[in-house]
C-alpha cells in the first residue's frame, strides 16, 4: 500500500500545486488590464507634470520680458522728460538778451523801491 499510495499522493500534491499555480497565473492575467490602466494613468500624470512645469517656465519668461519692457518704457519716458526740461531751459536762457535782462533788473528795482516806500517797518 505504501508503495502505491505514496506516488499517488505525490501526484495529487503536484497536480494541486499545478492547479494553484494556474489559478494564480489566471488571477494575474485578469489583473493585467488594471495594471495597464494604472501605468497609463501614471504616464498621464507625468505628462501633466511636464506640462505644468513648461507652463510655469513660460509664465516666468513672459513676466520677465514684460517687466523688462515696463522698465524700458519708464526709462525712455524719464529720458524724454529730462531732454524736454533741458531743451526748454536752454531755449528760455537763449531767448534772454542782455537788453531784456537789463530792463527786467530795472523793473524789479523799481518795484522794490515802490514796495519799500509803501511798507512800513
Question: Per residue in 80-89, pLDDT tens?
Answer: 999 999 999 9
For residues 64 and 7, the model is more confident at 64
Please tell me the total count of domains within the chain.
1
- Average pLDDT in the 47-60 region? 98
Q: What is the pLDDT of residue 57?
A: 98
Domain that includes residue 51, residue range: 2-118
Which pLDDT band holds residue 79 (cuts at 50, 70, 90)? very high
Mean pLDDT score across all residues of the chain: 93
Over residues 6-44, the pLDDT tens digits come to: 888 899 999 999 999 999 999 999 999 999 999 999 999
Give me 26's grid cell. 489566471
pLDDT score for 9: 87
**Is the confidence at residue 78, as pLDDT, over 80?**
yes
Q: Is the pLDDT of residue 96 over 90?
A: no
pLDDT at residue 2 above 80?
no
Burial 16-52 (b: 16+ CB within 10 A, else e): eeeeeeeeeeeeeeeeeeeeeeeeeeeeeeeeeeeee
**pLDDT given at position 98:** 86
Amino acid at each position: 500500500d505504501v508503495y502505491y499510495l505514496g506516488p499517488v499522493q505525490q501526484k495529487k500534491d503536484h497536480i494541486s500545486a499545478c492547479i494553484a499555480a494556474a489559478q494564480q497565473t489566471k488571477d494575474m492575467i485578469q489583473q493585467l488590464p488594471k495594471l495597464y490602466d494604472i501605468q497609463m494613468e501614471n504616464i498621464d500624470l507625468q505628462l501633466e507634470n511636464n506640462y505644468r512645469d513648461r507652463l510655469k517656465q513660460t509664465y516666468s519668461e513672459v513676466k520677465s520680458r514684460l517687466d523688462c519692457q515696463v522698465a524700458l518704457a519708464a526709462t525712455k519716458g524719464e529720458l524724454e522728460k529730462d531732454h524736454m526740461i533741458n531743451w526748454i531751459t536752454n531755449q528760455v536762457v537763449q531767448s534772454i538778451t542782455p537788453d531784456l535782462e537789463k530792463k527786467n533788473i530795472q523793473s524789479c528795482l523799481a518795484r522794490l523801491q515802490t514796495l519799500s516806500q509803501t511798507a512800513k517797518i
